[in-house]
């Protein structure tokens, strides 16, 4: 391995940037949840990719709650 590869492999997990998946899960864990535009703006994903990610979370066994905000926006959140 090169010196650069060795250095990259030795970076502790605490220093790495959070993944997009982890970022979305954090958004969904908030009390107010997250709307599809919030998810797509945060991750730069296309809407169909964000919806597919939500489906993947359901398949992993997480319970997603779909709610309507007072302004009419649909949001999702992970039930705790």
Answer yes or no: is pLDDT of 9 > 70.
no
CATH 1.10.10.10 is right for the domain spanning 18-78? yes
Q: How far apart (Å, rounded) are the C-alpha atoms in residues 80 and 76?
A: 13
pLDDT in tens, 38-74: 999 999 999 999 999 999 999 999 999 999 999 999 9
- In this predicted structure, the answer to whether residue 76 has a pLDDT above a threshold of 70 is yes
b/e burial code for range 16-54 (CB count within 10 A of at least 16 → b): eeeebeeebbebbeeeebbbbebbbeebebeeeebeebb
pLDDT digits (tens, 9 = 90+) for 15-46: 888 999 999 999 999 999 999 999 999 999 99
Please check whether residue 71 is in contact with residue 56, taking contact to mean a CB–CB distance below 8 angstroms: no
């Amino acid at each position: 391995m090169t010196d650069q590869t060795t250095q990259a492999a030795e970076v502790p997990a605490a220093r790495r940037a959070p993944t997009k998946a982890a970022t979305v899960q954090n958004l969904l864990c908030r009390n107010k949840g997250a709307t599809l535009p919030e998810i797509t703006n945060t991750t730069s994903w296309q809407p169909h990719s964000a919806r597919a990610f939500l489906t993947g979370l359901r398949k992993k066994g997480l319970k997603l709650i779909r709610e309507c905000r007072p302004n009419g926006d649909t949001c999702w959140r992970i039930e705790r």
